[in-house]
Amino acid sequence: MNAPFFMNRVLYGQSNLLDKENGLSLLKSFMLTPDNFIDMDIESEAVSEAVSIAVSIAVSEAVSEATISEATISEATISEATISEATISEATISEAIVEEPPKAEPPKAMERNTRFITRERDSIFWCVYTAVNGLTTSPSTNTMMNEKKAMSDFFNKNPTALKNINHRITLAKINELKCDLMTKPFMQGIESFIPCAIYYKRPIFVFFEEINSYFIFKDKNYVSDNDSDMDDGDIILIYANGGRYSLETCQKKTSEFIRKKITSCFFLHDCEKLLSGISSYKVDELKEYYKIVFKTQEDPALNKTEYYERLLVKCHSTIK
């Protein structure tokens, strides 16, 4: 019987339990007797135990789930860390590969200086003599005087030999050159290369560094063994700067230098007359020569005559 329904009948007189057989026994279960206390304690304990067990199970399951979640998260974190470490490792390797410095090239051998510069006063003679006889010869006054005497004797026996030079030369200049060989203590002036080129039968390329200009001295009867004069092993390269002369001793450098300069520098045809008459040049030619000699741009303010005069003065002041 439903307890609320039963109590309703008792309290509101809807049922007289005393009139019924065993009516009071029906209230036994609702009476506070020691037995009911025991039963209630047992039931309460049972309920408490059930609740405790349920709570324990729930807590255990929650803890387990939490542990599993933590483990999963931990594993995920470890995996992410592993992946991150792997990524960092790959990046490090990649950076190491990318940032690997290039292998150092072996140091280039320092280019050897092959220019011979004499301390002797007569730099023209010693440059040409060294080119012919080699660097082993020690400069001495006796050697120079003996060599010049041999040259003078040769031209005295061959009075027309100096006419074979590729420059215009007068009879007066020929006699002057022969006399200078024995009377002057040293060769002086650009024309001193004329007897050297004839006597030694060697072409001489003289380059004036200050004005990017050059002369070529050679016997008109000279025949090169090479198809190209620039590759001729007999050619002598002389540098001129500040009134002093020096010799290129490397034949390869000589050929390379002449091949480069012969097309980009100012060629002086004659040592007696450095420039031809003004009418021989066009304005554009003089402008080009001006840029080469002065190592600068053309001056728009100058006319043809002014270009020519400045070139002439500059060349004469440098070539002594």
Confidence of residue 287 (pLDDT cuts 50, 70, 90): very high
Long-range contacts of 252-255 (CB under 8 A, 24+ apart): 253/114, 254/205, 255/230, 255/231
Residue 14 falls inside a structural domain: no
Residues 204 and 302 in one domain: no
Q: Is residue 58 part of a domain?
A: no
**pLDDT at position 106, please?**
61
Domain identity same for 190 and 151: yes
How many residues comprise the chain?
320
Please indicate, yes or no, whether residues 138 and 246 belong to a single structural domain of this protein.
Answer: yes
Mean pLDDT along residues 98-117: 68
Over residues 113-148, the pLDDT tens digits come to 899 999 999 999 999 999 999 987 688 999 999 999
Same domain, 267 and 283: no
Model confidence at 85, pLDDT cuts 50, 70, 90, reads low
> What pLDDT does residue 268 have?
94
Same domain, 168 and 228: yes
**More confident call, 104 vs 286:** 286
- Higher per-residue pLDDT: 34 or 245: 245
Q: Regarding beta strands 266-267 and 213-217, do their DSSP bridges make them parallel or antiparallel, or are they unpaired?
A: parallel
pLDDT of 288: 94
Query: In terms of domains, do 141 and 282 share one?
Result: no
Q: In which band, very low, low, confident or very high, does the pLDDT at 286 lie, cut at 50, 70 and 90?
A: very high
289 and 256 in a common domain: no
More reliable by pLDDT, 108 or 86? 108
Strands (DSSP E) found in 98-256: 115-116, 204-208, 213-217, 236-241, 244-248
pLDDT band of residue 277 (cuts 50, 70, 90) is very high
**Domain count along the chain:** 2
How far is Cα 288 from Cα 199, in angstroms, rounded to an integer? Answer: 36
Structure tokens given for 159? 């009075």
Residue 11 located in a structural domain: no
Note the pLDDT of residue 51: 47
Q: What angle do CA 291, 308, 259 make, to 5 degrees?
A: 45
pLDDT, average across residues 290-309: 92
For residue 248, count other CB atoms closer than 10 A to its CB.
22
In a domain, 65, yes or no: no
Residue 190 lies in a domain: yes
What pLDDT shows up at residue 284? 94
**Domain housing 183:** 119-273
Distance CA 158, CA 152 (A): 10
pLDDT confidence band for 160 (50 / 70 / 90):
very high
Q: Report the pLDDT averaged over residues 29-39.
A: 51
Identity at 75, one-letter amino acid code: E
Number of helical H runs and strand E runs in the chain: 9, 6
- CA atoms of 157 and 160, how far apart (whole Å): 9
Cα(27)–Cα(11) distance, integer angstroms: 12
Indicate whether 47 pLDDT > 50: no
**Do 193 and 219 share a structural domain?**
yes
Q: How would residue 57 be classed by pLDDT, with cut points 50, 70 and 90?
A: low
Same domain, 252 and 287: no
pLDDT the model gives residue 300: 85
* Domain assignment present for 194: yes
Evaluate whether 215 touches 194 at the Cβ level (below 8 Å).
no
Residues 132, 177: one domain?
Answer: yes
According to the model, what pLDDT value does residue 138 have?
80
The reply to whether 151 and 249 lie within a common domain is: yes
Q: Is the pLDDT of residue 48 over 60?
A: no
- Determine, yes or no, domain membership for 158: yes
Q: Identify the weakest region by mean pLDDT among 84-93, 131-140, 263-272.
A: 84-93
Alpha helix (H) ranges present in 244-303?
Answer: 251-261, 283-294
pLDDT digit string (tens) for 60-82? 565 455 454 554 545 545 455 45
User: DSSP strand E in the chain: where?
Assistant: 115-116, 204-208, 213-217, 236-241, 244-248, 266-267
- Any idea which residue has 């020096």 for tokens? 246
Q: How distant, in Å, are the alpha carbons of 20, 44, 105, 287 from that of 108? A: 131, 102, 8, 41
CATH code, 262: 3.90.70
- Nearest CA-CA partner of 315 in 246, 257, 240, 248: 240
Q: Is residue 143 domain-resident?
A: yes
Same domain, residue pair 268 and 296: no
Looking at the predicted structure, is the pLDDT value of residue 232 above 70?
yes
The residue out of 236, 254, 273 marking a domain boundary is 273
pLDDT band at 28 (very low <50, low <70, confident <90, very high): low
Last residue of a domain, one of 273, 294, 311: 273
